Amino acid sequence: MGGNSKDIKGFVSRNSIWLILIILILAVGVIQPKFLSVGNMVTLISGEAVRGIMAFGVMFAILSKGIDLTIGSTAALVAVITASFAQEADYANRYFEGGKPLPAILVILIGLAIGVVIGAIYGAIIAYTKIPAFIATLGGQLICRAGAKMYSDSPISKLTESYRFLGHAKIGPVPVIIIVFFLMFAISAFLLTQTRFGKNVFAIGGNDQAARVAGINVERTTVLVYVWCSFCAALGAILLTGKTGSATPASTGLNYELDAIAAATVGGTSHTGGICRASGVLAGILILGVINNGLVMLKVDDNMTNIVKGLIIVGSVILDMRKNAKRV
Amino acid sequence: MQQEYVLEMIDIVKEFPGVKALQGVTLKVRPGKVHALMGENGAGKSTLMKCLLGIYQANSGKIIYDGKEVHFKNTQEALNAGISMIHQELSPVPERNVSENLWLGRVPVKGFKVDHKKMRQDSLDLFKRLNLDVNPDAKMGSLTVAKMQMVEIAKAVSYDSKVIVMDEPTSSLTETEVEHLFKIIEDLTARNVAVIYISHKMEEIFRIADDVTVFRDGCHVATEEAKNLDIDKLITLMVGREMTDMFPKVDCPIGDVVLKVENLSAGTAVRNVSFELHRGEILGMAGLVGAGRTETAEAIFGMRHITGGKIYKDGKELHIKSPEQAIKNGIALLTEDRRGSGIIGLLSIIDNTVIADLKKYGFPLNHKKMRADTEKYVEALNTKTPSVDTPIKNLSGGNQQKVLVGRWLLTAPDVLIVDEPTRGIDVGAKAEIHSLLSKLAGEGKAIIMISSEMPEVMGMSDRIVIMHEGLMTGILDRNEFDSELILKFATSDEKYVKEAQ
């Protein structure tokens, strides 16, 4: 009974976000053909990679009916600490006077470990005290940002090329940061659909009581969600400092959590929990990227760009909710 | 001149994408009478009522109310016209007090100011009129579910409606409150109010209904006066086939003790409960709301902190602190609150089936095997679903319950605890669940079945544990089963002493 047309309809409905992305790209491209150049696409994706990776983290928190507002500040803290260990030996204003930079791989591991520890701490607070994730991570945001500023009151720059490899280098024509971005997409998608962890997060977001009765360790899973989220933030910090070549305690990663949450949301992750697709979030990231990059190319002023972004965020959720309501 | 019908719904059609929920049904309600609406889940009873109340708009058909054709666009219009409804699912505002809940959306005002004094007095008057013992200043959330339901009933009555729809009003009421509700219904009908009564409980229908309309699969099957019907006839009309065996309990050999509970206590909810459970046995648990049966199950399953006593399985003492550990030890619990702690609505049948036993599927997860196992249980339990990828919330209650049973069977438990396994599900699915439980016992599983339905608990159990307010007041063997006896020990702290053989 028209099964085929139903399948197509279902496919389009499930992937409507990609359709929106394509329309947006074409629309900007028609007005400004330079937008469609390979060079610009590389710039666009490199520009969104850091926020995108953070979105792949925060989508797990949102899926579990939580949120993570700490991301940007965690990134700042990780950024200043790793940067301080990765400054060139001959630089005059070294954070550690004298001394030599640590091997890049060690610095990166330290940075990721800091992220994991921070995530574990507030993950545990959320899981075991049951306070809302919004509150716990709002507090964490202030504390981490203050921590970054206490660690250093000025920007830390002149970082070694080996440390900057992930954020700055290219393999052939392709920036490493883009490779890392797509790798993180693949890993998130894998975690989400192919592992027990992913299924458990879906269950907790869908109905945490039922998840508990079904034998899921809700607390442990919640801690892992924020560990992952914070890990992504730390990786973002390493890419960001590598890309820009410096870490600034007051501004590195500022408001990145909001961009990440926006991308995850536009990508169809439901704030009432239980709905998330990695491919949707990828599209969400790219949509915001097209707006960030494309509207600049079209010389739209900054305020107008933000208005468009705001409308897209709100509009996408309205559409999603209607779509989900219809399935009842 | 008195009209014959206060409400006529004629040829109502309601379509949802892909489903024809109502295929031209008719319902005619006489004033001052109780009209029971019967049918299996999914038959279209609630949908029809939602069309009446303006929650849904019918695709076609006529609604004639009080002699005039009406089209309510929302509940407010229906309420203003004199049609109110008590919903099956309560929607209280738990942090506000009773009187604010009662007059929600229509608080009396003096100028711009809410008239709290009048609101309180009106509440008192209403409760007095209905002979209800509820404090209007109490926080709604502090009331028992049964009291909340009574407040909900009072609220519906307070609109001075001509038609009141009651959708499963007694599902969370105790016997005394049910009696009270029937008294209220009597008063209402005496004042010429028509009551549309939806319930699965046959005894209730035959106690209070004047007329009975039966739906099946969105179609009108019959409308009869209740006095011309009996239970068998009614069930046949509802399911469209003869239901010979509602409680297909087969005697099967009772094996060794699997689970032994010794002086189990959990705060004041469970006090010194002791029993043994054998392989192949169905142990019923009877009692009223608040008897501590659910709490006992939760304590065994690691959901509730144990304050005293011991639990042994296969002779070994257990120290279970979480459902995770309980499942590892071969215990499963099908909870009472299917929506609250059973199904994960947005997720597919597959995800809902495998979620309690994901370890089995390795890393990365073997999706093929997950699908195959789910399909196996869907078939074995005769679950009706378009596909195993359908979100579970789209299924009817009975089919959701079957998916959950499948979830637990997948964990291959030795002890299966089922808490009100057939609450709110239709007769057909109910009989299937009964025969399934019976079959599982036959395969050597040990089953604890908590049930508030006397015929169910008596029909299905090998032995019955009776509880009252946290205390175990007795254990009856099958030959001692007697509903009066059970009720007696379910309503007092007195202990049942077996007669000398």
Reply yes or no on whether the pLDDT at A269 is more than 50.
yes
A2 close contact with B: CB closer than 8 A: no
| Contact B93/A at CB under 8 A | no
Burial class (CB in 10 A: 0-12, 13-18, 19+), B12: buried
Specify the pTM. 0.81
> Looking at the complex, does the CB of residue A312 fall below 8 Å from at least one CB of chain B?
no
Task: State percent of chain A over pLDDT 90.
Answer: 84
Q: CB distance from A206 to chain B under 8 Å?
A: yes
The shortest CB-CB distance from A196 to any of B324, B327, B365 is to B365
For residue A249, being part of any structural domain is answered with yes
Lowest mean pLDDT among A8-22, A110-124, B317-331: A8-22
Among A108-112, A298-302, B168-172, the range scoring the smallest mean pLDDT is B168-172
Average pLDDT over every residue of B259-281: 94
Q: Answer yes or no: is pLDDT of A6 > 70.
A: no
Which DSSP string do the residues of B59-82 spell out, in sequence order?
SEEEEEETTEE---SSHHHHHHHT
Contact criterion met (CB < 8 Å) for B345 and A209? no
Quick one: pLDDT at residue B297?
96
What is the reported pLDDT for A150?
97
Q: Which residue has the tokens 């790793």?
A: A82
- Strand blocks (E) in B227-269: 257-266
Residue B242: predicted pLDDT = 52
Show me where the domains of chain B are located.
7-239, 252-330+415-421+444-501, 336-412
**How far is the alpha carbon of B339 from chain A, nearest alpha carbon, in Å?**
8
* B393 vs A contacts (CB less than 8 Å): 328
Mean pLDDT of chain B: 89
- Rounded to two decimals, the ipTM of the complex is 0.88
In whole angstroms, give the CA distance from residue A183 to residue A190: 10
According to DSSP, the residues that pair with B331 across neighbouring strands are B415
What the block records as the tokens of B122 is 């009106």
Helices (H), A94-248: 104-129, 133-151, 165-168, 176-194, 196-206, 208-213, 218-244
pLDDT value at B288 more than 80: no
Quick one: closest CA in A to B345, which residue? A206
pLDDT, position B91: 76
Closest to A316 in 3D by CA, of A247, A279, A262: A262
What average pLDDT does this structure show over A251-263? 95
pLDDT in tens, B4-13: 899 999 999 9
> What's the gap between Cα B430 and its chain centre?
12
Q: Is the pLDDT of residue B501 over 50?
A: no
Q: A13 falls in which pLDDT band (50, 70, 90)?
A: confident
At B18 the pLDDT is: 56
Question: How far is it, in rounded angstroms, from Cα B493 to Cα B31?
Answer: 44
Q: Residue A322's pLDDT is what?
A: 81
Whether B406 and chain A come into contact, CB under 8 Å, resolves to: no
CB contact, 8 Å: B112 with chain A?
no
- The band of B1, judged by pLDDT with boundaries at 50, 70 and 90, is very low
**What residues of A are in contact with residue B346 (Cβ under 8 Å)?**
206, 274-275
Residues of A within 8 A of B343 (CB-CB) are 207, 210
Tell me the C-alpha distance between B348 and B392, whole Å. Answer: 6
Chain B residue nearest residue A215, CA to CA: B324
Position B469 confidence tier, pLDDT thresholds 50, 70, 90: confident
CATH superfamily of B7-239: P-loop containing nucleotide triphosphate hydrolases (3.40.50.300)
Q: What fold does the segment set B252-330+415-421+444-501 form as a domain?
A: Rossmann fold (3.40.50)
Q: What is the pLDDT of residue B171?
A: 75
Give residues with Cβ within 8 angstroms of B181, minimum separation 6.
B150, B153, B169, B170, B173
Alpha carbon distance A150, A153 (integer Å): 6
B326 interaction partners in chain A (CB closer than 8 Å): 215
Q: By the 8 A CB rule, do A139 and A74 touch? A: no
**With an 8 Å Cβ cutoff, is B185 touching chain A?**
no
Q: Is B55 on the interface with A (CB under 8 A)?
A: no
> Band of the pLDDT at A9, cuts 50, 70, 90?
confident
Q: How far is CA B457 from the centre of its chain?
A: 15
Sorted by sequence, the CB contacts under 8 Å of residue A96 that are 6+ apart come out as A84, A85, A87
- pLDDT per position as a tens digit, B99-114: 998 888 888 888 888 8
Sign of CA dihedral A112, A113, A119, A123: positive
- What is residue A142's predicted lDDT score, i.e. its pLDDT? 97
Same fold across B7-239 and B252-330+415-421+444-501 = yes
pLDDT of residue A328: 41
B146 and B200 Cβ atoms separated by less than 8 Å:
no
Pairwise CB contact (< 8 Å): A206 & B345: yes
In a domain, A23, yes or no: no
- Fill in the DSSP letter of residue A87: B
Q: Is residue A239 part of a domain?
A: yes
CB contacts < 8 A (A, B): 84
Q: Name the closest residue on chain A to residue B360, using Cα atoms.
A: A196
The residues in A 264-283 lying below 8 A from B, measured between CB atoms, are: 274-275
> CA of B359: which chain A residue's CA is closest?
A196
Tell me how far apart the alpha carbons of residues A258 and A271 are, in angstroms, rounded to a whole number.
Answer: 14
Q: Which residue has the higher pLDDT, B152 or B171?
A: B152
- A212 and B303 within 8 Å at the Cβ level: the answer is yes
Residue type, A168: H
At residue B467, does pLDDT exceed 80? yes
> CA angle A53-A55-A57, nearest 5°?
75
* Residue numbers in B near A202 (CB within 8 A): 344, 347, 351
Contact call for A275 and B335, based on CB within 8 A: no
* Pair A230, A61: CB distance under 8 Å: no
**Phi (first) and psi of residue B63, to 5 degrees:** -120, 115
Q: Is residue A326 part of a domain?
A: no
Decide if B362 touches A, using CB distance below 8 A: no
Please tell me which residue, B242 or B427, carries the higher pLDDT value.
Answer: B427
- Express each pLDDT in B3-38 by its tens digit: 789 999 999 999 876 567 888 999 999 999 999 998
- Tokens linked to A253: 């990663």
List chain B residues with CB under 8 Å of A207. Answer: 340-341, 343-345
Separation CA A281–CA A188 (nearest Å): 10
Strand, helix or coil for residue A203: helix
Contact across the interface for A217 and B322, Cβ inside 8 Å: yes
Burial of B105 from C-beta contacts in 10 A (0-12 / 13-18 / 19+): exposed
What is the predicted pLDDT for the residue at A3? 46
> What is the predicted pLDDT for the residue at B249?
74
pLDDT at B499: 65
Q: Would residue A21 count as lying in a domain?
A: no
The answer to whether residue A322 is domain-embedded is no
User: Which pair of tokens denotes residue A92?
Assistant: 């005059």
Closest CA to A75 of A169, A122, A134, A145: A145
- Check whether B500 has a pLDDT greater than 70: no
CA distance A214 to chain B (A): 5
What lies within 8 Å, CB to CB, of B444 at 6+ separation is B255, B279, B280
Q: Does B323 touch chain A (CB under 8 A)?
A: yes
What average pLDDT does range A31-41 have in this prediction? 93
Q: Is the Cα torsion angle A180, A185, A191, A194 positive or negative in sign?
A: negative
User: In chain A, how many domains are there?
Assistant: 1
Q: Residue A124: which pLDDT band, with cuts at 50, 70 and 90? A: very high
Test A327 with B327 for CB contact under 8 angstroms: no
pLDDT of residue B490: 84
Mean pLDDT score of chain A: 93
Cα angle value B347/B350/B352 (rounded, 5°): 55
Report the length, in residues, of chain A. 328
DSSP B496: P
Cβ within 8 Å, pair B323-A209: no
Q: Kindly report, residue by residue over A190-241, the tens digit of the pLDDT.
A: 999 999 999 999 999 999 999 999 999 999 999 999 999 999 999 999 999 9
What is residue A1's predicted lDDT score, i.e. its pLDDT? 38
The model's confidence at residue A326, banded by pLDDT at 50, 70 and 90, is low
Residue of chain B whose Cα is closest to the Cα of A213 = B323
**B77–chain A Cβ distance below 8 A for any pair:** no
Q: Based on C-alpha coordinates, what's the Rg of chain B?
A: 24
**What secondary structure, in 3-state letters, does B329-397 show?**
CCEEEECCCHHHHCCCCCCEHHHHHHHHHHHHHCCCCCHHHHHHHHHHHHHHCCCCCCCCCCEHHHCCH
Length of chain B: 501
The pLDDT, as a whole number, for residue B168 is 84
Please state the rounded mean pLDDT for residues A269-288: 94
DSSP 3-state helix, strand, coil percentages of chain B (rounded to 5)?
35, 25, 40
Whether B371 and chain A come into contact, CB under 8 Å, resolves to no
**For position B62, what pLDDT does the model report?**
92
Judge: A212–B327 Cβ closer than 8 Å, yes or no: no
Query: Residue A311 domain-assigned?
Result: no
User: What range defines the domain where residue A213 resides?
Assistant: 46-253
pLDDT given at position A143:
97
**According to the model, what pLDDT value does residue A325 have?**
65
The mean pLDDT of B156-184, rounded to a whole number, is: 87
Find where tokens 């600049």 sit.
Answer: A296
Q: What pLDDT does B19 receive? A: 65
DSSP type of residue B3: -
- Span A55-107, pLDDT tens digits: 999 999 999 999 999 999 999 999 999 999 999 988 888 899 878 899 999 99
* % residues pLDDT > 70 (chain B): 96
